Amino acid sequence: MLDACGWEIVKNDPFLNDHAPTRKKLSSVFGYSSTCVPSILSGRWPDEHHNWCYFVYDPKRSPFKFLSPFRWLPTALTSRRIFRRYLTKLIRKKLGFEGYFDLYNIPFEHIALYDFSEKKSPLKPNGMNQGLNIFDFLVKNRINYFGSDPDKTEVENRDDLITAIEGEKIDFSFSYWPGLDGLLHNVGNQSPEVPKRLRMYEEWLEKVMEAAREHYEEVRLYVFSDHGMANCDEHLDLKTQIEALDVKMGDDYAVVYDSTMARFWFFNERARAQISDRLKQVPEGRILPDNELKDLRAYFPDGKFGELIFLVKEGVLIVPSHMGERPIRAMHGYHPLDKHSYATLLTNQAQIPDDVVAIPDIFKLMKCDAQLAKAENTAVKANLYVT
């Protein structure tokens, strides 16, 4: 899996034409990597696995209450990325979070209002908020596998994969290389750095395939992404507009300003009315109605992830936001039907099944081929033993 390697990035690029010439454009899911990756790994949609956005309003269950005194520190310090990054590592260890965790730019004044939705790692068995994932399936069926360690670098995981292949002890591999996502955020999808990174990944995959073909009779390769990446050419200061209203954060409402959406919880009808009316006047985005959220499989009746979801147009970046105070060059998390949201699937198989149309469908391919690989490898080993 190449994070953010969207269809628009590779459709006119010769990326992996030699090793994975069969290619298909896939629909993504509504949300960020926090929901895309679990959807791929489980074969289910956000309203089924409940891995959606990271921060949710839940003061009763908030594990961050001990951070409230940080509100008295200078903002010049607490808003610095290096400070947040260091504190994030300490908090992740203290709270025992196994999945991805980042404090981002959540203000310490309000941090005790929020819980974090990914306490477990979807890249491990028993890592979903609801239901099972591919790793649960592999363990249950005693299929030997390699899985990337998110705490290691891409190079370390690449080398670990090659070592596992050379040991001939695995039937299946799920490798997750996230570096392209970070690059695209910084340089945008038209930078000459992007094809350079694709060429680098081609070299890496050449080494992986060389090792695999040396040690296995058949190698099935699937290279896919979770979403694409759109350049951000317009910035929206939504926070200032909402704070100008006659309602107060923490008393009348709660909100999480993500990079492409704002998610609100209301404590009274006055706040609901004022904020809703204001959002209807913001031309850079729109309020998503419940029926559309249901169609996108991202509707939660209990309002856990937000009672009102405001989504901006592709190419608009909410800044400042709780994800960062400064602009970045590109972002994802727009509507799944937007041009740059579509994901990619490349393979060395002659065809991709017709029912593989969205990223949750990748799970079916993984499950099927993992079973096939185990059966074939077991038969080979049994035949060698008899011989």
Label the pairing between strands 316-318 and 234-236.
Answer: parallel
| Number of neighbouring beta carbons within 10 Å of residue 248 | 11
Residue-wise pLDDT for 232-288, tens only, equals 999 999 999 999 999 999 999 999 999 999 999 999 999 999 999 999 999 999 999
User: Tokens for 65?
Assistant: 């209450």
CA distance 267 to 247: 10
CATH 3.40.605.10 is right for the domain spanning 7-48+121-230+338-386: no
CA distance 213 to 193: 30
Long-range contacts of 199-206 (CB under 8 A, 24+ apart): 201/2, 201/15, 201/177, 202/15, 202/16, 202/19, 204/158, 204/177, 205/16, 205/19, 206/19
Token pair 């105070």: residue:
325
**In the structure, what pLDDT confidence band is assigned to residue 381 with cuts at 50, 70 and 90?**
confident
Is the pLDDT reported for residue 384 higher than 70? no
Query: What are the residue ranges spanned by the domains of the chain?
Result: 7-48+121-230+338-386, 233-327
DSSP assignment of 177-243 equals: B-HHHHHHHHH-TTSTHHHHHHHHHHHHHHHHHHHHHHH-S----EEE-S---EE--EEE-HHHHHH
When pLDDT is cut at 50, 70 and 90, the band that residue 385 belongs to is: low
Instruction: Extract the tokens encoding 159.
Output: 């080398």
- Write the single-letter amino acid at 92: R
Give the span between the Cα atoms of 260 and 336, in whole angstroms: 12
**Nearest Cα residue to 37 out of 117, 128, 108:** 128
CA atoms in the 13 A half-sphere facing the CB of 173? 28
Could you report the per-residue pLDDT of 131-159, keeping only the tens digit for each?
999 999 999 999 999 999 999 999 999 99
Q: Say if residue 320 is preceded by a cis peptide, omega within 30 of 0.
A: yes
**Within 13 A of 85's CA, how many CA atoms are on the CB side?**
4
Residue written as tokens 């909100």? Answer: 255
Cβ atoms 6, 343 nearer than 8 A: yes
**Separation of alpha carbons 286 and 239, rounded Å:** 15
Taking the whole predicted model, whether its pTM rises above 0.85 is answered as yes
Query: Rg (Cα) of the chain, in Å, rounded?
Result: 22
The CATH code of the domain at 233-327 is 3.30.1360.180
